[in-house]
Amino acid sequence: MIKVFPSEIVGQDFKLVKLAPTKENLQIIFDIITENHEDFRPWLEWVDFVKKPEDEKCVLEQDQNPEKAEWFIQFDNKIVGRIGFVALSRGNNRGEIGYWLDKNASGHGIMTKAFSLIEKNAFENWGFNRIELKIDPENIKSLGVARRMNYKQEGVLRQEHFIHDVYKDSILFSKLKSEYMVE
């Protein structure tokens, strides 16, 4: 697995970018999180801790690390979401993808395109053998992404995550490089 990830990945009609922690970028991310708070909250506990633009500064600063494999999705020159590897196992050539999308950008295939681009690079260029997804069984939109991308459901991780004072299950999905090469 490669150790350094690019700061920008160009798709057909969108880009995946690492944003500099400027005041303007912090405001952009803050505005998206604020507008989508109720939609994100059931799945992303951290949204409750974003109270001002500066609360996202550490995220954008960490993104500057070339070993970090997370990007913002830019469509029509506007940031509309985020995707990347929220967990990496370099020794095992494995990563877990996480993502979110502004509700105003939903329904246009943007997440599927961004996911496809990450997957292609992971398997073809970065040395991954396995990609995983852990999805709350009630997160219908994320389940749709996993199914559209032909990920195999492996099982249920019982009470795998703790969010809003409740233990929740996660469905584990995966795709192997050998399965990707066959598609």
40: exposed, middle or buried (Cβ count in 10 Å: 0-12, 13-18, 19+): buried
Mean pLDDT of the chain: 96
Domains of the chain: 8-130 (3.40.630.30)
DSSP letter for 12, please. Answer: S
Q: What is the pLDDT of residues 27-63, one digit of tens each?
A: 999 999 999 999 999 999 999 999 999 999 999 999 9
For tokens 């494995």, name the residue.
94
Give the tokens for residue 89: 């196992």
**pLDDT (0 to 100) of residue 183:** 76
Q: Is the pLDDT of residue 181 over 90?
A: no
Q: How far apart are CA 166 and CA 95, in angstroms?
A: 26
**pLDDT (0 to 100) of residue 140:** 96
Report the share of the chain in percent with pLDDT over 90.
Answer: 97
Q: What is the pLDDT of residues 91-115, one digit of tens each?
A: 999 999 999 999 999 999 999 999 9
Q: What is the rounded average pLDDT of the residues 83-95?
A: 97
Q: What is the CA radius of gyration of the chain?
A: 16
Is the Cβ–Cβ distance between 156 and 169 less than 8 Å? Answer: yes
First to last CA, the chain: 22
Q: What is the pLDDT of residues 71-82, one digit of tens each?
A: 999 999 999 999
